[in-house]
Amino acid sequence: MREREPEKRARGVLKALQQVAKETVLGIGGLREALFVPFLAILTALIISGLFIVISEPVVVSAYANFFQSPGYALSVTLTTLSSAYGALFRGSIGDPKEIYRALVTFSQVGDAAPLRYALYPISESLTTSVPYIFAGLAVALGFRCGLFNIGAEGQILIGGLASVWVGYNITGFPWFIHLPLALVVGALAGALWSAIAGYLKAKTGAHEVINTIMMNYLAFRLSDLLLTDPRLMGRPTGTPMTPQILPTAYLPRLLGSPLRFHAGFFMALGVAALVYWFLWKTTLGFEIRTVGANPDAARYAGMSVAKNFVLAMGLSGALAGLAGANEVLGVTHFVGGGFSPGYGFDSIALALLGKSHPLGVVLAALLFGTLRAGAAKMQILGIPIDIIQILQAMIIMFIAAPALVRLIYRLKVEREVTEVVFTRGWGG
Amino acid sequence: MSVAVHRISRAVFQRERAMGLLFALLGLAIIALFGPSAEPGQQATFVLNFGQAGKTTPIPDLVLPVRGTIYLLGLLALFLAGFQLVRAFKATSLILGGIILLSILAFLIWATRGKSFNLTAMLGHMLLRGAPIALGALSGIWCERSAVINIAIEGMMLSGAFTSVVVASITGNLYLGLLAAILTGGILAALLAVLAIRFKVDQIVAGVVINILAAGATSFLTARVLVENQALNASGTFRPIAIPLLSRIPVIGPVFFETNIIIYSMLFLVGVTHIILFYTRWGLRSRAVGEHPLAADTLGINVFRTRYINVIIGGMIAGLGGTYFTLGSAGRFDELMTAGKGFIGLAAMIFGKWTPFGGFASSLIFGFADSLQVKLGILGVNIPYTAEPLPSEILLMAPYLATMIVLAGVVGRAIPPAADGQPYEKQ
Amino acid sequence: MPPVLELRGITKAFPGVLANDHIDFTLEKGEIHALLGENGAGKTTLMNILYGLYTPDEGEILIRGKKVEIHSPGDAIAQGIGMVHQHFMLIPVFTVTENVMLGVESTNYRVFLNRRQAAERVSQISEQYGLRVDPEAYVQDLPVGVRQRVEIIKILYREADILVLDEPTAVLTPQEVKELFAVMRSLVDEGKSIIFITHKLKEVMEIADRITVLRDGRVVGTTKPQETSLSELASMMVGREVILTVDKKPPRLGEVVLEVKDLRVRDDRGDLAVKGVSFDVRAGEILGVAGVQGNGQTELVEALTGLRPVESGEVHILGGDTTHASPRQILEKGVAHVPEDRQGNGLVLSYPLLDNLVLNTYYLPPFADSIIIQERAIIAAAKERVERFDIRTPSIFVTTASLSGGNQQKTIVAREFSRPIRLLIAAQPTRGLDVGSIEYIHERLIEKRDEDTAILLVSPELDEILTLADRIAVMYEGEIVAILPAEEATREELGLLMAGAKRLPETLTTQPREKEAVTEG
């Protein structure tokens, strides 16, 4: 009997959620189909991640140990924990609205930009973090379009970053308009060559790219350890495992002035997203890549070279991931050290799926992920490890990949079966 | 497969000759790299005594003259290469395997020059290092024989490793830790099964979900809980158990019969899986479901049930594999400590053509690469002709490189279960 | 005595189609009851309902007068129903015994397989009914005819007494069909009852005791061979008069377009599938390749179109060596290919129709300007092709998956026939299509032939080959055992050739004789 009550309440909450979801999202009409499931997926993922936060909080755990003495206390502790965690997430990613307002007022009255910069810092961080996400997300999405599952973006980011940092500090005496593009191009090229290996192995031997790209991630990590620790290679003479600083001629300009790290790479990322869209849907090369992804046998029968497209798509995917690394080096860090990429490559898998492997979707998902990661950095101060992001992602991928699961949870009726892209073709290619 | 096979064979003849040339170069490299860089008259001592058998039934060490042996091995490689050049032999991978073996032997002898090296200990270490890979391969076999691709072995191992330590630390009982790991693997496998079978999620995507979830959740909980409560992260390890008599056989005894329960379970599971798969009703039905689910369905076999059960068993084996890292060696949990062994297990499964013994044998190869890297690190190897030590990072790359080479060499020739990776759609 | 099986008012709807519409059907003990209908008439759906693979929306099933519920194949087997499916339900990597015992295994201690015991029963059944087969052989090594015997043994092993044979003759040579009919007779004599599903009228007249005709998911009528005729059955089946022959002028032979010399090709398993084949095809003629499926035809076609590497030998198209050319190089020489598996290889089903209409010409002007796709040109061409080839579709932007089989095949034909072609390679171009679409495709093929295109037509359907081909090449186990002029070929002789029982001397087979070679102009 006891359990009935909470169950009923839970169903009530669910109903309310359903109602809210319907009224807010369904109202938009045409966008409904495209946004509804992702919205619910993110919502559910946040709830489940919240569960992790709550059960790992000692105060909450001890409160529940005395649940029957003071149930109200347990619930209130739960809510405080959650609200402070997600509150930190919000302040870390968007900022404090009141503070932003006050800073705006100060700026308009006194003309002092310093408080404004301080208030906008969270947003700037979110946008800055979304830059590598856009590139890496596009990388994975482009692979998906060719039926390839590139799990190696993380390693490709590292390789791209290493290549462009090398150009950044080693090549001197050029003006910025040569040095910066050169560093970007070399970063992209390095990523492309690195990942094209997996594409080549898939095309020539049928070895599955998932295993090979994962193995190449490990290779990239070890390679970077080797390069960074040895002063004769790329390490610093002091022995600290990091590369020298790049020259200012290779910097991607920061657009909002000093403490804000928002840089020109953001607009470059948007431009590249548009370019990827144009490439995939408006050129014959893109048509081939998509055809190979949709039905490799039909592509072969139509005279396309499946092998060539595997290598090309994998190479382009790596180039995009390499650009992610190059942008981080040239726009944010200005050197490569341990923990250079905190998992942008892995996160981008979830991101690409969330964005339905479409450049526009990827950009939107990347903005979301940039926001989440910037906010999660703030949550760390509360003792909530940043790994929460990974849990969140796993949930998002799961709900996006299994829309039926979301419908089941929220008791939605099937609107229309959307044909899902199938990537798995066994081990033989 | 189609793509690969069709493209290659046009230039087959030239390719086989080219491989011959490559082999010849490898043979020359063996001689040039390792021969003259060893002092004349230097010897390599290989100790064969280890463990109980080493004390009770000692046997003499194997002492080899370095230069002579290396020249001999190099010449053997050249002979194989010459054979390839003249005959354009079709089974290039076989010869490649032989030449790689010769190169490794030459390298090992060269690295041991003027020192002594315990070969039996290394073989034992090979089995130890191969164990999680073999368990990963077995897990893969259980799942894929009924046509569910399990790329989440890595995540299942990692989660198993985590829960085993926590449960063993809390209860003070290693066996309960073992049980917890098996259950964890089973639960994650059930999630994979539901996603793959019920919701027909792309199996690779579903696997990636579990891998990310496992990496995230274990790292999250480690950072938030274990770091502050170190008492929860100190399980201790299983002691080796020597089997009377058998453990006294020289070389084999210490390797196979003086080890811990995880390794024994692995060896046991290899045999049991083989028997179940090929000699029982359940195995026949599972393989039928993996090859042609519709045919199995028309004969009244429940495809979904068979898949659920096999995937969950596979997950439990992966969970058991996770305990190797904690209860089997470290005695504690560290973030991402499985370091790709689950994926290497999948490669071993493919290399072993989806058979338990094949998977086990391939795991030993990977275990060898892994233990070689560790032992050579201890020996302190120089880059030939210099006093420069070989960076440990290069040695650490060995298992991953080996995986890629093996996959490239074997896929396309090994035939997976026909329905592997395809969801079954009941009409 | 009640009938062994009675179906009452069976109804089953799929999205967009009413596959079965209140079907009544009875099967008496010891009879062979033919279920006749063209592709898509609902025969297989009905039988899948009987076998528990589909659940009916309405209707009931009575067995020996008792109402039963069949929810799964397991239920059907328990009721004594056995089915030989059109696509064999055999596991290639298992032995015959393993395939037969699967699901009802002989075991020791209920766990371990007892293969010997099962093999003995397989041998015993195979002797009793004259179904020769080696219990230890692996199914993947067996020819199609033997695989069918394994399927029948599988049913008898389960002691079924209601046997459903779904299009069992499609994969057999005429001689093998005779053998099968003999087996069916002996089964009926033992007291079993058989439902024989087919769309071949002659076979029905030969073997059936009663005939029920299905059309568009409905029963048109039930009759007996003695009380009906071929033409009556045909019009019942199709719903109108059927022109069973195609009007065809004698061929005007032109230059040699395709020349194949001593071609050897391996299959996916690495075995030789095409073993030294030589022939040529001239402009303006149709060379039909007859043969039971799986005798190397698929590999031959793939090798000619550059999709499969050639082991040895030569292929010349229009005088140029294309032995090792890529598929695209061959396409660009003016070779059109209508592939065997239209959904798997011919189309990208998830693409909109218009993309499939330019799937192999998207990179050529006017559809592309260097690498930039010219959407307007593609839309215009697609609209024109949909019109010209009578593709029934609501728009050119709908996914190709939503079209019917016939319209999908028309899409491929439209694509291939809209570019200048000199050689057409058509593999089973009418498989699984309804009569209307078959007639349409046949007319287009003849039309192309009369426009001086060389045509290589591969088909396991002897009727199709006899109707369309000018010369007939028969393939058996990877070899061409005979090439003969169509007017000299008889079904009997072709049947013997297809079964490998006979081969014609080399001299007769290579070239069309001079008197036939009416020169152009």
Residue pair C479/C275 in contact (Cβ under 8 Å)? The answer is yes
Chosen from B208, B344, B406 to mutate, greatest number of chain A CBs within 10 A: B208
Question: Is C12 in the B-facing interface, judged by CB distances under 8 Å?
Answer: no
Residue for token pair 């790299």: B33
Residue for token pair 């009530």: A12
Report d(CA C47, CA C198) in Å as an integer: 12
Out of C91, C113, C309, the one facing B291 most closely (by C-beta) is: C91
Three-state secondary structure call for residue C388: helix
Out of B7, B202, B394, the one facing A401 most closely (by C-beta) is: B202
Report d(CA A325, CA A135) in Å as an integer: 9
Question: Is B274 in the C-facing interface, judged by CB distances under 8 Å?
Answer: no
* Pick from B110-119, B303-312, B375-384, C218-227: least confident: B375-384
- Tell me: pLDDT of A26 over 60: no
Phi/psi of residue C287, nearest 5 degrees: -95, 115
What DSSP line would sit under B107-127, residue for residue? HHHHHTBTSEEEHHHHHHHHH
Q: Å from A422 to nearest chain C CA?
A: 11
Contact assignment for A222 to B397 by CB distance below 8 Å: yes
Q: What is the domain extent for residue A334?
A: 127-372
Residue numbers in B near A426 (CB within 8 A): 149, 416, 420-422
Residue numbers in C near B6 (CB within 8 A): 307-309
Distances (CA, A) of B121 to B49, B54, B65, B242: 8, 10, 21, 15
Question: Is B36 in the A-facing interface, judged by CB distances under 8 Å?
Answer: no
10 Å CB burial of residue B28 (0-12, 13-18, 19+) is: middle
Residue for token pair 């195609």: C246
For residues C273 and C132, membership in a common domain is answered with: no
Residue pair C91/C127 in contact (Cβ under 8 Å)? The answer is no
* Pick from A199-203, B168-172, B253-257: least confident: B253-257
Residue numbers in B near A306 (CB within 8 A): 3
Task: Show the tokens assigned to C303.
Answer: 């090798």
Distances (CA, A) of B27 to B74, B229, B384: 5, 55, 16
List chain B domain ranges: 2-114, 122-410
Report d(CA C104, CA C84) in Å as an integer: 17
Report d(CA C511, CA B218) in Å as an integer: 74
- Tell me: pLDDT of B319 over 90: yes
pLDDT tens-digit series, residues C413-470 = 999 999 999 999 999 999 888 888 888 999 999 999 999 999 999 998 888 999 999 9
pLDDT of residue B5: 40
pLDDT tens-digit series, residues A347-386 = 898 889 888 899 999 999 999 999 988 998 888 888 889 8
Average pLDDT of B396-422? 80
For residues C141 and C260, membership in a common domain is answered with: no
In a domain, A6, yes or no: no
Report d(CA A418, CA A420) in Å as an integer: 6
Residue pair C108/C151 in contact (Cβ under 8 Å)? The answer is no
10 Å CB burial of residue B13 (0-12, 13-18, 19+) is: exposed
Out of A297, A402, A429, the one facing B199 most closely (by C-beta) is: A402
- Tell me: pLDDT of C353 over 80: yes
Q: Å from C89 to nearest chain B CA?
A: 4
Chosen from A398, A400, A406 to mutate, greatest number of chain B CBs within 10 A: A398
Average pLDDT, chain B: 88
Please report the residues numbered 312 through 341 in chain C whose beta carbons come closer than 8 angstroms to any beta carbon of chain B: 324
Residue pair C4/C194 in contact (Cβ under 8 Å)? The answer is no
pLDDT of residue A16: 59
Residue numbers in B near A409 (CB within 8 A): none
Q: Which residues sit opposite C310 in a β-bridge?
A: C265
pLDDT of residue A13: 60
Neighbours of A8 (CB within 10 A): 10
What DSSP line would sit under A381-410, residue for residue? HTT--TTHHHHHHHHHHHHHH-HHHHHHHT
Residue numbers in B near C268 (CB within 8 A): 1-2, 5
Chain centre distance of CA A360: 14
pLDDT of residue C127: 92
Chosen from B9, B212, B228, B392 to mutate, greatest number of chain A CBs within 10 A: B212
Report d(CA A28, CA C277) in Å as an integer: 64
pLDDT tens-digit series, residues C171-202 = 888 888 999 999 999 999 999 999 999 888 88
- The residue ranking higher by pLDDT, B293 or B34, is B293
End-to-end CA separation in angstroms for chain B: 29
In a domain, C64, yes or no: yes
Q: Å from C318 to nearest chain A CA?
A: 19
Q: Å from B176 to nearest chain A CA?
A: 22
Question: Is B288 in the C-facing interface, judged by CB distances under 8 Å?
Answer: yes
Contact assignment for A215 to B343 by CB distance below 8 Å: yes
Residue for token pair 């006050």: A102
Nearest CA in chain B to A382: B224
pLDDT of residue A4: 53
Contact assignment for C372 to A282 by CB distance below 8 Å: yes
Question: Is C360 in the A-facing interface, judged by CB distances under 8 Å?
Answer: yes
Where does the pLDDT of residue C381 fall: very low under 50, low under 70, confident under 90, or very high at 90 and above? very high
C415: which residues sit within 8 A by CB, 6+ positions away?
A: C356, C357, C358, C359, C360, C361, C385
Average pLDDT of A185-213? 93
pLDDT of residue C119: 96
Phi/psi of residue A271, nearest 5 degrees: -60, -45
Neighbours of C318 (CB within 10 A): 17
pLDDT tens-digit series, residues B190-210 = 999 999 999 988 898 899 899
Report d(CA A330, CA A182) in Å as an integer: 11
Please report the residues numbered 282 through 321 in chain C whose beta carbons come closer than 8 angstroms to any beta carbon of chain A: 305, 307
Contact assignment for B288 to C268 by CB distance below 8 Å: no
pLDDT tens-digit series, residues A83-123 = 988 888 898 899 888 889 999 999 888 888 888 888 999 99
Pairing of strands C193-198, C162-166: parallel
Pairing of strands C58-63, C66-68: antiparallel
Q: What is the domain extent for residue C413?
A: 256-516
Q: Which chains touch B (3 or more CB pairs under 8 A)?
A: A, C
Nearest alpha-carbon partner for A308 in A298, A299, A319:
A299
Nearest alpha-carbon partner for B111 in B415, B414, B372:
B372
Residue pair B51/B247 in contact (Cβ under 8 Å)? The answer is yes
Report d(CA A395, CA A417) in Å as an integer: 21
Q: How many domains does chain A have?
A: 1
Question: Is C395 in the B-facing interface, judged by CB distances under 8 Å?
Answer: no
Q: Å from A419 to nearest chain C CA?
A: 8
Q: Which chains touch A (3 or more CB pairs under 8 A)?
A: B, C
Contact assignment for C373 to A287 by CB distance below 8 Å: yes
Q: What is the CATH number of the domain that holds C63?
A: 3.40.50.300
- Tell me: pLDDT of A29 over 70: no
Could you give the count of Cα atoms lying within 13 Å of B395 in the half-sphere of its Cβ? 21
- Interface confidence, given as ipTM, is 0.84
In a domain, A206, yes or no: yes
Nearest CA in chain A to C375: A282
- Tell me: pLDDT of C516 over 50: no
In a domain, A286, yes or no: yes
In a domain, C245, yes or no: no
Three-state secondary structure call for residue C89: coil
Nearest alpha-carbon partner for C282 in C246, C312, C329, C319:
C319
Question: Is B400 in the A-facing interface, judged by CB distances under 8 Å?
Answer: yes
For residues C263 and C228, membership in a common domain is answered with: no
Residue numbers in B near C53 (CB within 8 A): 297-298, 427
Q: Which chains touch C (3 or more CB pairs under 8 A)?
A: A, B
Nearest CA in chain A to C362: A284
For CA atoms A76, A77, A82, A87, the dihedral sign is positive
Q: Å from B93 to nearest chain C CA?
A: 16
In a domain, C229, yes or no: yes
Residue pair A141/A350 in contact (Cβ under 8 Å)? The answer is no
Chain centre distance of CA A349: 7
pLDDT of residue C508: 44
* Pick from A305-314, C230-239, C360-369, C495-504: least confident: C495-504
Average pLDDT of B416-420? 86
Residue numbers in B near A420 (CB within 8 A): 202
Q: Å from C306 to nearest chain B CA?
A: 9
Out of C331, C371, C399, the one facing A283 most closely (by C-beta) is: C371
For CA atoms A332, A337, A343, A348, the dihedral sign is positive
Question: Is C427 in the A-facing interface, judged by CB distances under 8 Å?
Answer: no
Three-state secondary structure call for residue B191: helix
Residue pair B106/B74 in contact (Cβ under 8 Å)? The answer is yes
Q: Å from A391 to nearest chain B CA?
A: 5
* Pick from B76-90, C104-118, C447-461: least confident: B76-90
The residue type at C8:
R
pLDDT tens-digit series, residues C282-316 = 999 999 999 988 899 999 999 999 999 999 999 99
Degrees to nearest 5, angle at CA B305 with B299 and B311: 125
Report d(CA C175, CA C496) in Å as an integer: 7
Contact assignment for B300 to C74 by CB distance below 8 Å: yes
Report d(CA C111, CA C107) in Å as an integer: 6
- The residue ranking higher by pLDDT, B189 or A20, is B189
- DSSP code of A418? P
Q: How many domains does chain C have?
A: 2
Q: Strand runs (DSSP E) across A352-419, as ranges?
A: none
For CA atoms C201, C204, C206, C210, the dihedral sign is negative
Percentage of chain B with pLDDT > 90?
46
Report d(CA C478, CA C265) in Å as an integer: 9
For residues C195 and C321, membership in a common domain is answered with: no
10 Å CB burial of residue C445 (0-12, 13-18, 19+) is: buried
> What's the topology of domain B122-410?
ABC transporter involved in vitamin B12 uptake, BtuC (1.10.3470)
- Tell me: pLDDT of B382 over 60: yes
Residue numbers in A near B340 (CB within 8 A): 214-215, 218
Out of B199, B217, B343, the one facing A214 most closely (by C-beta) is: B343
Chosen from C20, C84, C91 to mutate, greatest number of chain B CBs within 10 A: C91
Report d(CA B165, CA A387) in Å as an integer: 20
Residue pair B110/B30 in contact (Cβ under 8 Å)? The answer is no
Percentage of chain A with pLDDT > 90?
49
Question: Is C221 in the B-facing interface, judged by CB distances under 8 Å?
Answer: no
Please report the residues numbered 291 through 310 in chain B whose beta carbons come closer than 8 angstroms to any beta carbon of chain C: 291-292, 294-301
Q: Which residues sit opposite C5 in a β-bridge?
A: C27, C63
Question: Is C111 in the B-facing interface, judged by CB distances under 8 Å?
Answer: yes
Contact assignment for B408 to A201 by CB distance below 8 Å: yes
